[in-house]
Structure 1
Amino acid sequence: MQRWLRLAERYFEPIIIVTSLGVVIVLLFADVVARFAFQTSVPWAGEVARFAFVYMIYFGISYAIREKRHLRVTILVDAVPSALRRWIMAFAEAVFLAYSVAVCVLGVQITANAIERGQSLSATQWPTGWLYAAIIFSGALSALRLSHSLWMILRHGQEPLRENTALEDEGIQREGAGS
């Protein structure tokens, strides 16, 4: 059971991101071919592609957090002593965590309003609540990832840098030293 959970934790976002990107590429390509070769269009292709694009972007946010690849401005952090750096990074993670929780809560409200009103997408007639649910999923996953990162900073003193960076840098230095 733990093995499946580890696999899901590792590959959940990448599978959604890659699948969504594939859907966007295939549907938009098919629509372009239909327009130019057959002078028609696939009415639902653009809508489904936008749907997939939204999910790709929102799940990309939590994936970037997990991989420690989200954008940061570290000029202040780099200028302070390492003892203070830990607390600044913890504060930054806490602020980002609060933001992610707020996004999740507001996503629930937006999705509930869309479901309440019975709104649907025009071409596919899918409920817009399914589109807005990406906000909830992304906010919740981001909050979980940030909670873990904050815990690692506070408990173990680890900076929220990408875990493989030190190993990659060491590998590059070893390769360079041998040449």
Structure 2
Amino acid sequence: MFRIIEKYFEPTIIVTSLFAIIVLVFADVIARFAFSTSIVIANEIARLCFVYLIYFGISYAIREHRHMRVTYFVDKFSQKKKRIVMFISESIFLIYSVTVCYLGVQITQQAIERGKTLSATQWSTSALYAAIIFSGLLCSLRLLYSLYQIGVRGDLSLYNSEEKPS
């Protein structure tokens, strides 16, 4: 069960968010041109979905080792040096992800304390900022696993710069 959740969690959120964006924006365009009105909450919910799509996409890219990196010089190193460089790189990325998560918690708490709401739905803006927390946590977990793969298992197979099959 955990493996299924681990495998499909981010893709499900990404695909669902993209589908919701398409449906909401399409419905709003039809409403504007066909009925000279607008679906007030459509743009706001689409924006919320877009934020979640982006933040969970970051975590998914980390999981698939598809986040942007330039490995031209690293590829020239021996396996041992390459392992050290990749471990340092992933460690820095982990520190960044933990920092983003921590700051996301602070921003979300401030939004709750101030009672800020989104204008159309009247939902708390914390619903928007929570994406930062969820993404930061997932990214941190993915990076910890990556550090385990590199540091303990010595596995660099996922970091080859050659094109991976889709």
Q: Normalising by the residue count of structure 1, what TM-score does the alignment of the two structures yield?
A: 0.88
- Looking at structure 2, the residues matched to 119 and 41 of structure 1 have their Cα atoms a distance apart, in angstroms, of 24
Give the one of 82, 88, 100 matched to 1:91: 88
Give the one of 146, 150, 154 matched to 1:153: 150
Unaligned runs of 5+ in 1: 169-179
Per-residue deviation, residues 95-121 of structure 1 (Å, max 9, x unmatched): 000000000000000000000000000
Q: Cα RMSD over matched residues?
A: 1.8
- Looking at structure 1, the residues matched to 130 and 81 of structure 2 have their Cα atoms a distance apart, in angstroms, of 38
Deviation, structure 1 residue 81: 1.8
Per-residue deviation, residues 112-168 of structure 1 (Å, max 9, x unmatched): 0000000000000000001100000000000000000001100111126269x7985
Identity %: 59
- Looking at structure 2, the residues matched to 92 and 18 of structure 1 have their Cα atoms a distance apart, in angstroms, of 29
- Looking at structure 2, the residues matched to 104 and 77 of structure 1 have their Cα atoms a distance apart, in angstroms, of 29
Could you say if the C-alpha distance between residues 68 and 157 of structure 1 is closer, same or farther in structure 2, counting changes exceeding 3 Å? Answer: same
Larger Rg: 1
Number of the residue aligned with 1:75: 72
- Report whether the alignment pairs 1:20 with 2:17: yes
Unaligned runs of 5+ in 2: none
Contact 1:69 1:162 in 2 (8 A): no
- Report whether the alignment pairs 1:30 with 2:27: yes
- Looking at structure 2, the residues matched to 162 and 91 of structure 1 have their Cα atoms a distance apart, in angstroms, of 14
Give the one of 39, 58, 62 matched to 1:61: 58
